[in-house]
């Protein structure tokens, strides 16, 4: 199981029966494929669908029915498709219960940076609908790999990249751990099997405490 699948599987466990849930670009879009058995909710995608389901087979895929990452999805019974402006309005108005967003960095204040890297002196590609989601959604779950390619922590004391949203993240899920965001400090809730708390401390820049309910991930 690669790191992206670990994160998507664990993120799916945070979604509850009856919620309206948005899945952002990247790893989050895969969470719909790993929903716990019996959980029924309304999946929303920024580009205009309420009520989509898991990835279809190659034979049944329709290029006109896709998620925020332009990946094919299924439309479930009762699904609704709408213009982008209405979809964004629903995001801003608070109709979404929970959003799972991919991130470049998160920090112990619950800030998230997920839209920009600097190339040739310019920040790009653009902030997109994630900004609306961070301020219009009741609960934000950030998903990302724990470290970058050089081994540096992406779980920061303070985000260094331009923010998408401030003080908005409730839960952080990486390929190594699950944190809840407390009052200026993270709370380590779970670790990937075989990883120790000391190892998490070594790979995490942000300050954290260990939850009383601390356990290993179950995937």
3-class SS of residue 215: strand
Instruction: Give the DSSP letter of residue 165.
Output: B
How would you classify the pairing of strands 122-125 and 116-119?
antiparallel
Residues 96/22, Cβ–Cβ less than 8 Å: yes
Matching residue, tokens 């998903």 = 143
Instruction: Give the DSSP letter of residue 202.
Output: H
Residues 62 and 76: their CA atoms lie apart, in Å, by: 14
Q: Which of 176, 169, 209 is nearest to 192 (CA)?
A: 176
Matching residue, tokens 């309420």 = 50
Residue 196 Cα distances to 148, 192, 202, 209, angstroms:
19, 9, 10, 14
Please, is 168 exposed, middle or buried when counting C-beta atoms within 10 Å of its C-beta (0-12, 13-18, 19+)?
A: buried
**Catalytic positions, please?**
46
Residues 52/28, Cβ–Cβ less than 8 Å: no
Residues 123 and 178: their CA atoms lie apart, in Å, by: 29
């Amino acid at each position: 199981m690669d790191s992206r699948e670990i994160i998507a599987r664990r993120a799916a466990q945070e979604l509850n029966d009856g919620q309206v849930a948005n899945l952002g670009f990247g790893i989050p879009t895969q969470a719909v494929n790993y929903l716990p058995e019996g959980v029924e909710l309304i999946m929303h995608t920024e580009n205009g669908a309420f009520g989509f389901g898991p990835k279809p087979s190659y034979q049944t895929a329709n290029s006109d029915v896709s998620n925020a990452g332009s990946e094919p999805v299924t439309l479930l019974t009762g699904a609704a498709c709408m213009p982008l402006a209405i979809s964004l309005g629903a995001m801003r108005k608070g109709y979404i219960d929970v959003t799972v967003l991919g991130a470049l960095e998160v920090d112990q204040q619950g800030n998230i940076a997920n839209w920009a890297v600097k190339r040739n002196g310019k920040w790009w590609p653009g902030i997109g609908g994630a900004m609306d989601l961070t301020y219009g959604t009741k609960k934000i779950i950030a998903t990302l790999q724990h470290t970058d390619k050089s081994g540096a922590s992406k779980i920061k004391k303070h985000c260094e990249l331009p923010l998408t949203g401030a003080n908005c993240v409730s839960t952080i899920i990486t390929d190594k751990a699950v944190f809840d965001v407390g009052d200026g400090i993270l709370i380590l809730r779970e670790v990937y099997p075989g990883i120790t708390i000391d190892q998490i401390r070594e790979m995490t820049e942000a300050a954290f405490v260990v939850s009383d309910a601390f356990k290993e991930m179950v995937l």
